[in-house]
């Protein structure tokens, strides 16, 4: 775990942000929180399609679990109402518990899968549950990194140019 965190820190030091990819929400099932599993072309050279889809699908399943309506959520709602919602001073809602699980999962995924590939996943809750933000880092000192400035029209000042110059 220490080495993986070390990798993240090294990544930050040696890399510069090239671009960001945003995975938007998928509203085809209504207003529940779900993200599109469509593979963005900018990540084509950075990560395997299958890994990416698996991550997004797991996140979707977590959110479905948080918003699941059923016996336990009704019970929680009724109990909260009966105690005039004071019970939330003592315990967290089911949703909050799942959100904590999600943030742990995202951190784990970042350490194990995304950081070694020069990517960083941002927890959607920090972006108002609108998008999953994937930051693509360009390795400044690495010689073999492919330029992700190839994602055309990204509009951000590219470290890709700097990366190419450093080679």
Partner 1 sequence: MVFWSVLLAEVDDNRSCPYLAVKITPAIPVVGGILFFFVMGTLLRTSFSDPGVLPRATPDEAADLERQIDIANGTSSGGYRPPPRTKEVIINGQTVKLKYCFTCKIFRPPRASHCSLCDNCVERFDHHCPWVGNCVGKRNYRFFYMFILSLSFLTVFIFAFVITHVILRSQQTGFLNALKDSPASVLEAVVCFFSVWSIVGLSGFHTYLISSNQTTNEDIKGSWSNKRGKENYNPYSYGNIFTNCCVALCGPISPSLIDRRGYILPDTPQPAAPSNGMAAYGATQSQSDMAAATPLLQSEPSLTSDELHLPGKPGLGTPCASLTLGQPTPPSSMPNLSAEAVLTDILPLKEEHVGHQFLTPEEAPSPPRMLAGSPLAHSRTMHILGLASQDSLHEDSVRGLVKLSSV
| Interface positions with partner 1 (CB under 8 A) | 8-9, 12, 15-17, 20-22, 24-25, 27-31, 66-69, 73-74, 76-78, 81, 84-85, 93-96, 99-100, 102-104, 106-107, 110, 120, 122-123, 125-131, 133, 135, 137, 153-157, 159
If the CB atoms of residues 52 and 63 are measured against partner 1, the closer one turns out to be 63
- In the complex, the smallest distance separating the C-beta of residue 76 from partner 1, rounded to whole angstroms, is 7
144 vs 153, beta carbon nearer partner 1: 153
Cα-Cα end-to-end distance for the chain = 31
**Distance in Å, CB of 52 to partner 1, minimum:** 17
- The residue among 47 and 106 lying less far from partner 1, judged by its C-beta, is 106
- Closer residue to partner 1 in complex, CB, 8/113: 8
> Shortest distance, CB of residue 24 to partner 1, whole angstroms?
8
């Amino acid at each position: 775990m220490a080495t993986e965190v070390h990798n993240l820190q090294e990544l930050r030091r040696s890399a510069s942000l090239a671009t960001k990819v945003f995975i938007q929400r998928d509203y085809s099932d209504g207003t529940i929180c779900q993200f599109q599993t469509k593979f963005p072309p900018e990540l084509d050279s950075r990560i395997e399609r299958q890994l990416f889809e698996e991550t997004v699908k797991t996140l979707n399943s977590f959110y479905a679990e948080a918003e699941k309506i059923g016996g336990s959520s009704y019970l929680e709602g009724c109990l909260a109402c009966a105690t005039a919602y004071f019970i939330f001073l003592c315990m967290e809602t089911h949703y909050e518990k799942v959100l904590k699980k999600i943030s742990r999962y995202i951190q784990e995924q970042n350490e194990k899968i995304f950081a070694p590939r020069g990517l960083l996943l941002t927890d959607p809750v920090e972006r108002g549950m609108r998008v999953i933000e994937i930051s693509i880092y360009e390795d400044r000192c690495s010689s073999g990194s492919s330029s992700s400035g190839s994602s055309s029209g990204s509009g951000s000042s590219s470290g890709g140019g700097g990366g190419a110059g450093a080679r």
